[in-house]
Structure 1
């Protein structure tokens, strides 16, 4: 990213923030541009510049845009109630006609390159102009946005305190377009343990664990549910390296608690927790009978399964338990 493009993006964000007014007592949208991608920022009700707030980065899936993803998830309503900012990057149609994030391309699977770098650039831009608690920045998404969220969590674990992968896959589940079709149908051909180390390396071999929430429908015919299992295992392996710098099974792919629940008149689900070193490092929801959807989503929007549990609430409840260590 050139300095001139970055300066232009900052100027655009400032001017539009002033134009919308970002009122302190009412939630407001702010439109922005960073490099070749646009974004929308939700500033919650009661925002005050003197009080740093958490920031959730929300990545839409294919055939979606920020407005639709915000409506589907009701994330802005949650943000107003719980007081956090929400950043919605927007995939450009010139980059992908279906607005999928191009997670399978090698240029988008490394740090400081491609779409991940653009999204982190947006985060930095928001931090410059809004009061953001840098220890509590989170990333989540669905479908292609879920896979890209996993890439960002893998390669920028110094930026994101925790992440959520909805109906997605592990880091580098596929590295080609043809490989993506195979992985989505049958699961990745790559070892989650190997990809766990790759993720740790991508972030610069940090000494920290990387908490992840994974949610998947048992009847997902677009992204095989095995991809959710692989994502959990991959990030647990990343945390195994991160907690002490070596692969020694200090963190294992063994659930420490298993439970279940159901929505009255709706779907049932199972949940597995992985707690190591006193920290909830992974939580895995499998929603019975659900297809490729956002659980508990608003039925007025595509890819909603209103009979499922409220994924937005579960996501925020998971995020709020995690923060980066103070500098």
Structure 2
């Protein structure tokens, strides 16, 4: 799912659709652990028995709340490879957000994964509670730095995109918004009951041969289409109207003209819930 990650992350291969649904309307809690985090720069630490890389930009000021960005790799990939094509560390330095990218666990095939939804991606072996783990990781980061709890973002590629949707379903009180690149939400809609709206940016290639734009199978497990995923989140976020098409984008240099369509759905209310 992720060995084609560099090519896919450039702009999701060929024609991609970008769909945005903003947070439109109004388990047990996480348990932060005591971990020695870096005061500045980049360091890899162990949180909950897993390797997590944390980057603290020079712009970080403990007197001012900073945004937090958590990046999630795809199946068969890992955190280090994710950063080679996302390259969010320079953006952290430029924009001043705390940035962390953890590793998933390893299945009995020797592949790293996130146990995200009914389709992806605990294909063999154990089924860890990654939703709880990532919730506790966010709490740990919040306990180590001054984080703006209204600006906590997850970005995931492929299996990581599925996991970002899972986190929005399970921990809407912690997660402000997500970005999913070639991921999808639950096929079983009963599994997703977000407690409040979560902003969603969904980017999905129409040519992806693994996580199909129109929905399909991962092994024997069904995942919903990109359109169905967005329709579900329009409902969860209580978005009104039919949205608006934005100008197409030219994101892939070796494809002719603008290859990426964009559609935005709007706020039902400008009033955001307190966090």
1:221 aligns with 2:221: no
**In 1, distance between residues paired with 2:66 and 2:157?**
23
1:234 aligns with 2:232: yes
Distance 1:218 1:95, change over 3 A: same
**In 1, distance between residues paired with 2:75 and 2:99?**
19
- The counterpart of 1:118, out of the listed 122, 133, 136, is 133
- Give the structure 2 partner of residue 301 of structure 1: none
Gaps of 5+ in 1: 1-5, 174-189, 241-249, 280-322
TM-score normalised to the size of structure 2?
0.73
- Give the structure 2 partner of residue 132 of structure 1: 147
Gaps of 5+ in 2: 1-30, 123-127, 215-224
- The counterpart of 1:53, out of the listed 63, 66, 82, is 66
1:199 aligns with 2:187: no
The alpha-carbon deviation at position 46 of structure 1 amounts to 2.5
- 1:126-170 deviations in whole A, cap 9, x for unaligned? 111111111111111011110010010111111111111110111
Question: Over aligned residue pairs, what C-alpha RMSD do you find?
Answer: 2.8
Give aligned pairs, total.
227
**In 2, distance between residues paired with 1:154 and 1:95?**
27
1:211 aligns with 2:226: no
Structure 1 residue runs of 4+, over 3 Å off?
263-267, 323-327
Specify the SS of the correspondent of 2:247: strand
**In 2, distance between residues paired with 1:72 and 1:229?**
26
Richer in strand (by share): 2
The alpha-carbon deviation at position 105 of structure 1 amounts to 5.3
Question: Higher relative CO (CA 8 A, sep ≥ 6), structure 1 or 2?
Answer: 2
2:165–2:180: 8 Å Cα contact kept in structure 1? yes
- Give the structure 2 partner of residue 265 of structure 1: 253
Distance 1:94 1:225, change over 3 A: closer
2:157–2:180: 8 Å Cα contact kept in structure 1? yes
Richer in helix (by share): 1
- The counterpart of 1:148, out of the listed 152, 158, 163, is 163
1:135–1:324: 8 Å Cα contact kept in structure 2? no
1:30–1:43: 8 Å Cα contact kept in structure 2? no
